[in-house]
Structure 1
Amino acid sequence: MAAPENACIMKEHESLWIFLCILIQLVQGKDSECISSNKCSCYKSNEFEYQCPPGKFKIVLHVIPRQYVKIDCYDLPEYDLSIFPDVDVGDLEYFQMRFCPLPNNSFNPTLDKFNISNIKYMQLEEIRTTTIKTVTKELFNGLSKLEKLSFSLFRIELEDDFLENLPNLIQLYLDNNEIHQLENNMFYYTPRLRILHLSRNLISHQLHLWRNELTSLSKYSFTGLRQLKSLELSSNKINSLDEDTFAELIELVNISLRSNNLNVITSNIFKRNIALEGVRIGNNPNLNLSDYVFANLTNLTNVNIDNSNLESLPQHIFEGSFNILDISIKNNSIKELPENIFKNLEKLKKLNLNGNKISSLPNAIFSSLRSLEELYIGDNNLTEINEKLFKNTANLRILNLRYNNIATIHLNAFIGLRKLLTLDLSYNQYDLKYGDNVEGLNPFSYCEELQRLNLSHNAIDMFPESFMDNKVNLRYFDLDYNKINDLRVASLIKVSTYEVIVYLNNNNISVLDFRDIKIYPIFNPNNYDALHNNDSSTVLYMSQNPISCDCFNFDLIQYVNDKLDPVIKTLVDIRLGNLHCSTPEAFDQILVRDLKPRHITCPLENMGCPKQCGCDFRPYDNCAVVDCSYRNLTNAPVINMTINNVKQVEVNLEGNELENAPYTGLGYDNVTNLFLSNNHIKKLSWIPPKIKVLRLDRNQLTFIESKVLNSLNESTTLQNLTLYQNPWSCGCSTVGLQNYLRNHYKKVNPNEVKCEDDKLLIDRKELCKSHWTIALAIATPILLVVCATAIAVALYFYYQEEIKVWLYAKNLCLWFVTEEELDKDKTYDIFISYSHKDEEFVIQNLLPVLEAGPNPFKICIHVRDWVPGEFIATQVTNSVLDSRRTLVILSESFLESVWGKMEFRTAHTQAINEGRARVIVVKYGQLNEEKLDNELKNVP
């Protein structure tokens, strides 16, 4: 220790003398001198040394102003700033304190005492004691410029924000402190941190160092952390790892190095981490993996190396790690994989290869993966799936092949995937074609457990007819954005007990074929109860298709308007949404759901259609339509068309230059609707014998010949006649027309037919007054009474049964009618209504009794007496009406039968209308009376 050099003699007033000595030295320009006092002894060599207090010192300071301060403590029980010397050292590069207790609150008073404003490096060391100290952010107040902090040999607990006042910290050494854990956000306030040492602590579970600026690690970073289980190093800037970086972490279970700048992971880096279960090294953009890097880690279960621009993987990378369950290598640049890379990974359940550049896979690459359940190979360059690739993956549940260039799939490619639940082949070039000899077959036939199949965005032009035949668990089938042209609706009938969603949006579908599905209920009569009781159906979505709104889709328009058998909608529920008509041009952009069956027509070509006209067929009323309107015709064209199975012919000649209406010999004999409005017709000499609608308005007619009026009067088919806006002459020749208007006001509106001269209504104007007028006035009431009487008698004899039923129901004139008379024309005595599940009871027990004996009953049952092919609803109504009584076999099965309930309601309604008991209910078996509706409860 240096001898004291007393530049000034200590006097009684020591402080004053010290000040004077320093002032003298400054004035003389000499170096700072060491000044001793009764507080501290001072010695000077190449540095100042202060011993406080003199003799039995408790602290020793080594000082070089503006360079460093080093403080050693000896048996100092607590931090006492009063025993420190008064030394002005200014800004420092280095501040060290060893074996000293930490300040109670902050280093700020210490900094003020030595006039320190900035420190670059602070080192704190203490011999461990039994006292655990809590380090808070207040301890480092005033140290915002600090770049390096070393904190060791303490027993400490760290607050989450203990680094908040050290924003410029670059290096942090926390070695040998018995730290038990670090919180996730502990380094949030140190964005410049590059080096962190945590060796020789007691961190035994999780160490999270994500989102820092760490650039390198070595084995010294974690020395002593032998009990560490989880290490999170994501989102740093680590670019290199020594081969023995993790060598001492022998109990490490999970490690994450995601989102760094790692270049090479060497083969032996995890060699000593035999407890390792999970490794995540994704998002390292320049990563290279050495062979055997994950080898022989028998506890390893999860490996993630996503998004790292890997171009290849070595063959033995997973060798010996036979307990791996999940491997993810997605979003790299791998073009091919070694055939044996997954060899012996028999426990692997999930493998993700999405987002690479793989164009082909070795046939045996998955042969060891017998436990594989999820396989993702989407977004690659695969072009073909052969019959060997998935031969040994019998436990596969999910297979994702979307976003490839797959054009060919062998028919046996999925033959072993009988447990497959989800298959995604969307965004490929697959066309589902296998040649004429295997029409109707598809590679999905073997996937009996399939629930979801996505074939959207491919090149399929035909719906796979037999696809739904064995898919008892199917729920979702996507064929959006393909090239499917026509669709047979019956091919959508499912066997699945679930609702099946089928997407056919954005295809080329122009026609939906309902032919087979319309006859389905007829050929499956035993299933009609099941069909109606099944709440689930195939739900079809098919927007954005070029639908033809013509007679080829007449069934579709009938379906939309509920004109088909209701059973069909229980089989297939078609959701058209905003589907528009594509053709014909007249319906362009019209919503299909807005069309009615009467709007639909189809062109009739090569049927003898007049050259000047257009000819169509309207299936709604089975009518041939000849449209010759507004063609500047001066003569009615000849209609010489041969059309089979057409019940009506409609000819439209409106808006032409005709002066004569069509006459006999022009082929109009079968015309039922004739439109002649807005012409120049002056003469009407004939009307078609089958005419129903005749429009003659807005012409030049002045009268109608008597023979034509006779034809009009005698016509039994005419329903509507228009005669307005014609220049009618109101003389005696018009009497016949006037009488016709008065007698047929329901066929022709007399309020529209006016005289040309005075614009009076013809039916109200007095024409040709004579004695016959008086006679007619007298005779008319008498004639009306006679006619009314005759009509009443005729109506009674024609409708006597209905009249007697009504009287009986209203309890009127009961002397006039008996119940036997009401039922005398009934075909059957009893109609038995029952569920098909109770058929054995009815056939074997009930019928033999009712149809035997001296007075046998005539029985109607649907299994024997219904006509095949007739609509079920029609046959239900006819059976009830043709029977004197309806016998209901009321059972649990009957309550679940939609058609049984319909049969009951029909009979019950008839009984109510007639005011007498028509329904007999027989309870069969155990019955849950809570299921009975009010109608059944009220039946006596």
Structure 2
Amino acid sequence: MLVSVFISCRNDFYRINVTNLTFAFIKMLLLTCTGVNNIPYIVAVRRHPLNMLWAVMVASLANNALCTREPRPGMVTSGPPPPHYPQCRPPPAACTPLYGNNNDTDADTFYKYNVNGNIFTISYNNINKELDLTCPLILSQEKLDDSLPSFRRVVVIPAVYIDSCERADTSYVALLASLNVTGYRKLTLHISQRPVSPLNSLKFVGLNLTYLYIRGSLNEITYLSDDFLEPLKNLTKLHLIRNLSVPPLPPSNRLETVITFDGISRDVWGGCEQLLVLNTSSWGWNTSTGSPPPGWLSDCPKLIELRLRSPKLGPRPEEALAKALVGLKALEVLEISRSHIESLPSDFFINSTNLTSLDLSVNRLIYLPSTLLQPAATKLTTLLLYSNLQLPDLCDYDHHDDGDDSDILSDVFAATSVLRLPVLQQLSLSATNATRICPSWSRDLPALTRLELTGNSIHKLRFEDIKWLGARYSELHLTGNRLQSIDYYMEDYLQIIQGHCTKFGLAVYISRPLACDCHSYWFARTVAECPDHLTWRRPLRCSSGASVAAVPPASMVCPRYPDECAAGCTCYWRERPDATIANCSDLVGGRLPLIPHLHELNAAANQIESLENFPATLIYADLQYNRLQLISPEAAATLFSVPHRRLLLAGNPILCDCENKALIDKLQLHRQQVEDYHEMKCVDGRVLSSVLIEDLCALSKTLVLVYSLSPLAVLLILALISFGYFSRHQQLIKIFFYAHGWCLCLISEGDLDRNKKYDAFVSYSHVDEHFVFEHLVPQLEGEPHRFKLCIDTRDWVVGEWIPVQVALSVEESRRTIILLSCNFLDSVWGRLEFRTAHKSAMRENRSRVIIVLLEDVGNHQNLDKELKAYLSTNTYVKWGDPHFWEKLRNALPRRSNEAEAHRAGEEVAYELQRMTERRLPAITAPTASVDF
């Protein structure tokens, strides 16, 4: 495609047809040839004559605006510049000023001169004291320096930049002296064209530099002679950029910092005894194999920072690097990036015991040996491993919090490092295909404050990770991951709430919205009640686009039993996977649905008429606007059998009569559990809360008098008959009552507990489990006593709800042994087991709880009032007492009672049989009904 470039300047038009030249290059040529800087130009494609006309018009307007014949303010074309600006020397010097910025208020001033037909520019920053010299053509003419402009007085300039002003017979000292410039410590050289000759020591004679920056030509290699640094005795920093061929450093140098980019070394680095920092990028070696020679850094014992970016290390980069690190015992900062390393030997850092920062990013690492970082473990604070795309999760697979696959992964990645770095503060694993935050890091990386995991495959964030990092001010970077949920559990939510919205010092960076389902329920509740417990660098949003704080936690559910839920219902779960939530809109049969583990039921506006078989697991039930009228006393008692159950019952036609008294009584007694109690009405329109229980079964005064006297009369008659009968058959009646168990005062505790399954239920904290199996079980279940104990880990049914298991264990045991310790008091389940056993004993008015005091708990913060009162009013057995086992066995039920009861029963049976054979008329009950 042919392009026309129209240039308009001082009412003259130029058109250049170009195909391959860039427009910027065309402008540069015009600038060089004409000396005019602001040249307006425009481009038009030769497809239509109108395009040509349009191009000419726009160029003409630009000419009038920018290229007027009169000089603009601040621009000069003739006459001397102000005294403090560089000025041309008088004739015969061939120097003509073209223009310059004469604004005294500007920090940067810019001047252009025509020196012997060459454009020479000077840029001077008066504030930073920096001078730039640019020579588009090589200064090769004789006595050219005599024609250069100069400052009228000597100017001290610390930093000088020279672009393409090389001459074979002129040193940089002479060039700058002709400009009246001195005092420079930093020199920057830009070799933009093909160099006349290698840079040698003659070019630098007389310079007293501390910093030298050399930038080579873009297309030609610039050779630095073997002695180019000899005159620079005070040089401490050397910066070499692009297409430079560098010899070994001279032994006498005082260099402390060397930075190189895109060049080659002709041999080892050479004299680097004082070198502290070496930073190379895309650097190679002029050897047959392309690898650095052996011992290429052996003369650098003081090196504390080594950065190798994209080093050209040959076919075996690991070996070249290992040889380089042998003598670098002082090394503190090491970067080996973009070097195509796939693995490192386990002893790679054996001499690098002072490492504080290690960068192995952008490589091809597939694993890290388990002992690789151990030599530097006590000092390493920064570890960068990002963009190693095949690096697996660096987890400790012996840490068995990882699920059922931990053993398999342990075998597969047995050689993988577990990152046990106690002082590490920054870890970067971005773009490493990481799938999680390892559970072992909370133990092995206790000082971590910055964790970078961007661009990975992490799907969830756990509360354990937040708690670990939030123990100090930290940053967690998770942008670019497919994060779906932040997993909190009820215990985590309670910990934050009970800690008055515990503030974690963690700032989290995430980019994707959350799924906002059941997995985020407890997190959403925490955010709703404690929005500032974490710092989020971006607002948290759900996949729907709404803010997490704006979505009700109750709506965050997951499907459950999609194919097995009851007809007319949809099942979900929210707080716990084993707690089912059912939304029922079309129930049939007038009964509650049969759904396993039913926890919450929303069944308003159905046809439910009966509450028989009310699920014991149900915690919330919305039964509004159904057909509940008459409920049996048993069903009414079951309805409120769970203390924290909540109900909605408004809109049901409740019968408020004597027949339904049991339900009315329970409703009034447990009104705090019925959220809409004050909205409930009877079938006759009365408000349920206004109904008096005593009025439900009210009678007339005559019937009341009759009913009141009738029991007294009957009791009197029965008393007389009983007294007479008892006097005559006293012995027989005692035997009969005893055989039928009607007189409980005559029955021993052994008879009461005859059908119980266990002698004792042992309640303990699982931290004290060793005491149970090492001491308690062998002593009590062994010979000669052979007590039968109930142990949760041994005798409980797997999968059953824990509160139900606790109640059944207490009910089926003759005693409950409480192993009281600080661990027990810290256990929520331990305190629940004590309360269950204590209430059962109070209900039977018998002493069934045995306290075994394992340690002193008098000042423990979780010693609640109920347990403290029990300890103060009851005796207990203390571990360590010389008579401990004797006291404990005496407190347990006597097993000999069963044998005595059995013999007594045989004696009673024999007496009854003998009396039956005599056919005593007073005994009317058949012997088959006697319980032997």
Q: What TM-score do the two structures reach when normalised by structure 2?
A: 0.49
Higher helix share: 2
Larger radius of gyration: 1
TM-score for the superposition, normalised by structure 1: 0.49
